[in-house]
Homo-oligomer: A and B are copies of this chain.
Amino acid sequence: MSILQIGAGGVGWVVAHKAAQNNDVLGDITIASRSIGKCEKIIESIKGKNNLKDSTKKLEARALDADDIDALVALIEEVKPGLLINAGPPWVNVSIMEACYRTKTSYLDTSVAVDLCSEGQQVPEAYDPQWAFREKFAEAGITGILGAGFDPGVVSVFAAYAVKHLFDEIDTIDVMDVNAGDHGKKFATNFDPETNMLEIQGDSFYWDNEAWKQVPCHTRMMEFEFPNCGSHKVYSMAHDEVRSLQEFIPAKRIEFWMGFGDRYLNYFNCMRDIGLLSPDPLTLNDGTVVQPLHVLKALLPDPTSLAPGYKGLTCIGTWVRGKKEGKERSVFIYNNADHEVAYADVEHQAIAYTTGVPAITAALQYFRGEWADKGIFNIEQLNPDPFLETMPSIGLGWDVLELDPAIPPVINTLNK
């Protein structure tokens, strides 16, 4: 057995560490990225932390342009991985899936191929480019596991667990995500500022009474008491798993919510008001043409630089309301991740950690034959039990909190 990992950013960093810690099952590891230096830096960190469990297995870096399908095919044919783990940026998903199809190689990723905010790439169409591979993957006799991060990812496993064990009938599914940690900077983003700022600006889509509803960002808000993190304001946002949950789990309303502090939103609004969040070309007095968003990216701290000093917890979970045996029920199934614990384990922060740990947890299910059917699967379609049994040993615990079923979500509509 062996894996080929594409991508050496923050998520790639954690995936590689976790793969190394589990290489007795996963086998040889090859990490490929446009920048081989980034792969080598990860390998150095893995060795420095003594995270390579079986030191007789290979751990190698390769340079690769993942947009180049022929180069990808050549690398796959050389490495012959049992599973390709895609930890690259979303826009390479489709070319990697095509290369997997051509080489009959199983595939796993952690987010959709689209930007979720441009016309035709929004939530209702989010999985179309990847679901188009369903028949091809089944025909090739390979497995494709889509959206195996935390959100998308574990939050959908929580929903599947709720369907299997806790509810007879589901009314609402609210995915809740807050980062209550502090990186000590006045303003910084936890992942690529360009991706982050585009995602946050996009309209939110939620499923409500058999139809998609579209609203501007930051116009639907609620306050939620997060276990061990206190009360936070969360805002309805476009997110991948709203689409897949809507496909596979019947519910009246399905929505994704992300916590933003007033301070974060103040910076965001100022930057948006002056035009700094625009991807459109801007001509300076001297004729230089720049994208304002690229200027912002160069101004802000590199997200990977935040990890060493990061303190505090994240809380991400799935709030499910419905009925069990005729009675109303409300549960919050969640994880708390600790930035400092993540750093001690893999020298990265909890945002990347909560995405990378589930990817390897899912990879282990694939290699154990639990999640190895032929075809394309979103993670909520698969048996949640072995996954949730494994995840704590890979680094992320989880818990079920019973809430008062008489208290519904109180959603506030805000002016843009």
Residues on A lying within 8 angstroms of B by beta carbon are 186-187, 266-267, 270-271, 273-276, 282-286, 288, 290, 292, 294-300
Known: A266-B266, A290-B290. A298 touches B285 (CB 8 A): yes
Residue picked from A266, A275, A300, most chain B C-beta under 10 Å: A275
B298 in contact with A284 (CB, 8 Å): yes
In the bound complex, CA of A187 to CA of B282 (Å): 18
B286 in contact with A294 (CB, 8 Å): yes
Q: Which residue of B lies closest to A186 (CB)?
A: B273
How close is A191's CB to chain B, nearest CB, in angstroms? 15
In the bound complex, CA of A298 to CA of B296 (Å): 14
B294 in contact with A292 (CB, 8 Å): no
Q: Which residues in B have their C-beta under 8 angstroms from that of A275? A: 299
In the bound complex, CA of A144 to CA of B258 (Å): 63
Q: Which residues in B have their C-beta under 8 angstroms from that of A296? A: 274
Partner of A294 from the list B186, B273, B285, B297 (CB cut-off 8 Å) is B285
Q: Which residues in B have their C-beta under 8 angstroms from that of A267? A: 270, 273-274
A299 in contact with B270 (CB, 8 Å): no
Q: Which residues in B have their C-beta under 8 angstroms from that of A186? A: 273-274
In the bound complex, CA of A299 to CA of B288 (Å): 13
Residue picked from A276, A284, A295, A297, most chain B C-beta under 10 Å: A295
B298 in contact with A294 (CB, 8 Å): no
In the bound complex, CA of A290 to CA of B282 (Å): 12
Q: Which residues in B have their C-beta under 8 angstroms from that of A187? A: 270, 273-274
A276 in contact with B276 (CB, 8 Å): yes
Q: Which residues in B have their C-beta under 8 angstroms from that of A288? A: 288, 290
Q: Which residue of B lies closest to A185 (CB)?
A: B273
A292 in contact with B299 (CB, 8 Å): yes
In the bound complex, CA of A271 to CA of B300 (Å): 12
B290 in contact with A284 (CB, 8 Å): yes
Q: Which residues in B have their C-beta under 8 angstroms from that of A285? A: 294, 297-298
Partner of A299 from the list B282, B286, B300 (CB cut-off 8 Å) is B282
